[in-house]
Amino acid sequence: MTELMVSLIVRTESLTLPDLTAVLGFAPSRGHSRGHIPHGGRRKHFQTPLSHTSWILYSDEDVTAPLEVHLRMLAAALPPQDFQSLRAKLPADVRVEVIVGASYDGQAAYIEAVPASLAIVMAYGASLHVDAYQSGDEENSAIKNAEAPSVES
């Protein structure tokens, strides 16, 4: 079985998290401002300040739900057409990513990206990143290492 954790990430080097949040109109599930030094988790080996701000919206659908269900949840929370209308207020360096963390217990992860799923990603103008980890790989598992949502400024 494959379990998914899906997030929409808006990154910029030009704005702080509070400024980016103000433009987007609501608080992220998690985020950090440029200059933040990560502590703990998978990034514990980094000691240098981050060069970018990240505004992260997590899907709160069940980890066993298909990718399309997760993406529809994100699109309901921040409709792609609303995001596109806000683009004019955002700096040119803004990057949008959809990150899919997949934990699987078999020989391989299976993630189906149907046309409707890809249409949502494209509507954001986002790139799609998929990270897959075997469920026994506790150190790298996207599902097992998911931290409680918080916002750091």
**6-39 pLDDT, tens digit each:** 999 999 999 999 999 999 999 999 988 887 776 6
Nearest to 6 by CA among 36, 29, 39, 34: 29
In a domain, 43, yes or no: yes
CA separation for the pair 93, 10 (Å, rounded)? 10
How many domains, the chain?
Answer: 1
Per-residue pLDDT of 109-152, as tens digits, reads 788 899 999 999 999 999 999 998 888 755 554 444 444 334 44
In a domain, 29, yes or no: yes
In a domain, 147, yes or no: no
CA separation for the pair 137, 141 (Å, rounded)? 6
Expressed as residue numbers, the domain containing 113 is: 2-134
Per-residue pLDDT of 60-107, as tens digits, reads 999 999 999 999 999 999 999 999 999 999 999 999 999 999 998 877
Confidence of residue 40 (pLDDT cuts 50, 70, 90): low
**Displacement of CA 122 from its chain's centroid (Å):** 15
pLDDT at 42: 55
In a domain, 149, yes or no: no
pTM value is 0.81
CB crowding 67-76: b at 16 or more within 10 Å, else e: bbebbbbbbe
In a domain, 67, yes or no: yes
Burial level of 134, CB count in 10 A (0-12/13-18/19+)?
A: middle
In a domain, 107, yes or no: yes
In a domain, 150, yes or no: no
pLDDT at 146: 44
